[in-house]
Amino acid sequence: MTAERCLTRAAPDPRKECPMTPLEIKFEVLKKWRTIKAAAEFLEANRSALSYCIWKKRRSPELRMKLAQALGMTVEELFGDS
């Protein structure tokens, strides 16, 4: 399902059905910490691991959970799965 379809559907909360895109996740990280490096330091991870997590290249349940909690979201809202 594309992001456009998610946003145009008449659902009470489209985020619950459609995960964020990697670019949306990156923007949220940059909005909160200003750099990926600063976010990685806060989350006690290295920069490349965080980037791989954001771009959904590698699945790290622990890092996904830390990132979701830090952004005030659930893993499902960010990544679409648990």
pLDDT at residue number 20: 92
Distance CA 68, CA 14 (A): 17
Domains of the chain are 21-79 (1.10.260)
What does the mean pLDDT of the chain come to? Answer: 85
Distance CA 10, CA 42 (A): 37
pLDDT at residue number 54: 96
Burial class (CB in 10 A: 0-12, 13-18, 19+), 79: buried
Task: Give me the mean pLDDT over the 13-23 stretch.
Answer: 74
64-75 pLDDT tens trace: 999 999 999 999
pTM of the model: 0.77
33-60 pLDDT tens trace: 999 999 999 999 999 999 999 999 998 9
